[in-house]
Structure 1
Amino acid sequence: MRRLLKPLWFLLAVLFLVEAWLWDRLAPVVAAIVGLLPWAEWTKALAALIDRLPPPAVAALFILPASLLLPVKFLALWLLANEHWFMAVGLLLLAKMLGLGVTAYLFELCREKLLQLPWFAWLYGHILAIRAWAHRQTEPARRAVRAAIAAVRQRLGFNGQLGRRIGLLRRRTRRSGGTA
């Protein structure tokens, strides 16, 4: 039985790590978007409000974005039920990315207050432990994928002069403000 459950545990670990990877990548993106918009004052005001609020109120504020996206997710389920597959999947992905990004951004603002709540500190510790478990579960597969990518790069010559030139172009583009 244990042998049959191993692929399921691996899949759950991968899904958890994808979610953690998105969390790590989307929080800075949302912060950058907020920085570009004329919301800098709003962000300062939000941070000041969070500092004044008691931890339970901060927890309610933290949960608010997820609850606001719930009707959007219900709409996506309705679209699925009515066989509008692409619109439903697109809406679900959009809601997921938006919710995850905003929640990750808010978490950075609320972390200190949230960790004052014993139940939240306990939950946060367990989530970090699950993340470490997921990394341990997927490490052999990630190592094999890295080795396969390195072999392909070696075979295609990306590790030699071509690879150095591509790296140089990427660094120059990043310094000049482009995206490569």
Structure 2
Amino acid sequence: MKQILKPVTYILAAIYFLVDAVFMAVAMPISRWIARHVEFKRLRAWIRSLPPYPSLALFSVPVIILEPIKPVAAYLVATGQVVSGAAAFIGCELLKLVLVERLFHLTRDKLMRIPAFAWAYGKFTEVRAWLHATEAWRVVRALSRTAKDYVAWARARLVGGFSKLVTSRD
């Protein structure tokens, strides 16, 4: 039984990390935008003043609150409420990742003083490096760049056509 469950566990873990990696690609720009445009100086100062273990507790809050929404979203999809389930999953996953990324950015040095956290983060970094080294990841990145280039081209063409239309009307 153990030989059967071990590969299944690895596959589920890989899928979980892959989904988180895809969402993180979306969450990082949102998080950077928030950091540039939203000023919470007093809140940032308070978060940075926390010792390591309270920092870990604060860092855990978005995960503890928002992670249980995944099974709820799966239930919604399974009961035929696909749009609601997808919206719940995507919205909560993005919110969780944005909050976790911002909190990690503010508390990283303190969190790394906790041996278990530093070890787990090291393992996470190894898995992420392995994932980025896979052929599948490179293909997805190439497709992503192609799609991004196409959107930029289409946008430039649309803007160019619109400006010609406005100029010809004047």
* Higher relative contact order (Cα pairs below 8 Å, separated by 6+ residues): 1
Contact persistence 1:13–1:135 (CA under 8 A): no
Flag the 1:27–1:106 CA change in 2: closer, same or farther, 3 A.
farther
| Structure 2 unpaired stretches of 5+ | 161-170
Match of 2:20 in 1: 19
Contact persistence 1:27–1:105 (CA under 8 A): no
Q: How many residues align?
A: 149
Measured on the aligned residues, the alpha-carbon RMSD in Å equals: 4.1
Query: Aligned-pair distance for 1:20?
Result: 2.6
CA distance in 1, matches of 2:28, 2:35: 11
Contact persistence 2:132–2:138 (CA under 8 A): no
| Structure 1 unpaired stretches of 5+ | 154-162, 174-180
Q: Percent identity?
A: 36
Q: Return the letter of the residue paired with 2:42.
A: A
**Is residue 97 from structure 1 mapped to residue 98 from structure 2 by the alignment?**
no
CA distance in 1, matches of 2:65, 2:12: 29
TM-score by length of 2: 0.64
TM-score by length of 1: 0.61
CA distance in 2, matches of 1:97, 1:120: 22
Give CA-to-partner distance per residue, 1:95-146, whole Å, 9 cap, x none: 111111221122111111111111111111111111122233x23x455678
CA distance in 1, matches of 2:71, 2:15: 26
Give CA-to-partner distance per residue, 1:5-62, whole Å, 9 cap, x none: 6xx97886576345235325413312313543xx40x2x2222112321100000100
CA distance in 2, matches of 1:146, 1:23: 14
CA distance in 1, matches of 2:16, 2:66: 21
